Chain A
């Protein structure tokens, strides 16, 4: 068999490609040799894929449909209790209907294109300038809702939504946040973890605050304490700690070490 030279552009879709293959093989559309046609269809698809063409999903869907029909054709006819064959519809029937229906509109499209077309075969006098036109009474027809919506859509398209993004860098720095935390801790026994983050709206702020907290611990200005596992985490000023010696046992692993 000669190799296929197929350009996807030449086919309006999988039905079109299938029609082409059926005609090429000169077989009856009502009795498509499904195995043969499927093989050829898949070969075309294969070529298209090796060419690395961006193949429309519909072509693959049709391949699946063909394989499904082929498998149904291979199955023995179902039999009822009496051993009679159940008269099932030919698995190809729906595909044949679709192909014939598609062919009908394909032909209609071709004939439509053969009609003498305005601005292609036929020309009309250019319309007079709009100012000359007055009213044109009697030519009005009630406008439908969808026409009105279309008009609106047109207006909106002419005025695209202004996509303005104000881009500014976040001013909050870790250093600023450290000072804020220290201020907040002044005169306080402690500050809970949730209080600390309560005012932080953005992810960025949360991260800056978290870094500031770690920095404070590193600078040994703050201790992080927890009374129980999963309990509230408290920030306590390290100065207070010094006033109450012997409280928290030194634990090198803990962030609360003094």
Chain B
């Protein structure tokens, strides 16, 4: 049996998207737990060495991604363009992410504004999708986020969304220093 560490590394490198643990185990013909341990070692290696990439747990799988500090250079390389989210789009996306399944009416009540066009944009970008119809009069569509949403924001799964802060009073105005690239706090692959 070949050495699993370089093999898994090769698969992660060659994959065209996040690789699920089960899929990796199937391909290398090893136990999930064994592969999970290998992933942890790889993640620790990348984190501990001066590397251009790291292993991120995202959308139910694992993916090699370039480190945020090199973002400027990769942008210069310019193969892809980042979504530039408007505030309404981000708000709507946040509401759907945390409250799914959610209807448009509920979104609009929370935001206080019509959200039809924003919702359409998010649907077009495949960041949200229609999960079904709510069983109430009028059978409104209910919305939820997609795998693409998790991939875009580097979130392992919905349970791993940053916890919602509950407020009983006003929050201080947060500084929105855009482009502050921080590595995710969690150890990738943990």
Interface residues of A (CB under 8 A from B): 12-16, 19, 22-23, 28-30, 56, 58, 62, 98, 100-128, 133, 138-139, 144, 146-147, 150
Decide if B23 touches A139 in the complex (CB within 8 Å): yes
Partner of B153, one of A112, A128, A150: A112
Decide if B82 touches A120 in the complex (CB within 8 Å): yes
Give the 4 A-B residue pairs with the shortest CB-CB distance, closest first: A127-B16, A120-B82, A13-B113, A109-B90
Compute how far the CA of A55 lies from the CA of B87 in the bound complex, rounded to whole angstroms. 17
Contacts of B155 in A (CB 8 A): 115
B34 within 8 A of A: no
Compute how far the CA of A111 lies from the CA of B90 in the bound complex, rounded to whole angstroms. 10
B4 within 8 A of A: no
Compute how far the CA of A30 lies from the CA of B166 in the bound complex, rounded to whole angstroms. 15
Chain A residue with Cβ nearest B89:
A109
Chain A residue with Cβ nearest B90:
A109
B157 within 8 A of A: no
Residues of B in contact with A, size category: 35 or more
Q: What is the predominant secondary structure among interface residues of chain A facing chain B?
A: helix
Q: How far is the CB of A136 from chain B (nearest CB, A)?
A: 9
Decide if B71 touches A123 in the complex (CB within 8 Å): yes
Contacts of B162 in A (CB 8 A): 108, 111-112, 115
Chain B residue with Cβ nearest A22:
B170
Compute how far the CA of A252 lies from the CA of B59 in the bound complex, rounded to whole angstroms. 91
Decide if B174 touches A110 in the complex (CB within 8 Å): yes
Give the most central of A13, A19, A122: most B CB within 10 Å. A122
* Contact sample, A vs B, 17 pairs, CB 8 Å cutoff: A12-B87, A13-B111, A58-B114, A100-B168, A102-B112, A105-B95, A105-B98, A108-B164, A109-B90, A113-B178, A116-B184, A122-B66, A122-B68, A123-B65, A124-B64, A125-B13, A133-B16
Decide if B111 touches A15 in the complex (CB within 8 Å): yes
Decide if B154 touches A119 in the complex (CB within 8 Å): no
Contacts of B168 in A (CB 8 A): 30, 100
Compute how far the CA of A147 lies from the CA of B123 in the bound complex, rounded to whole angstroms. 11
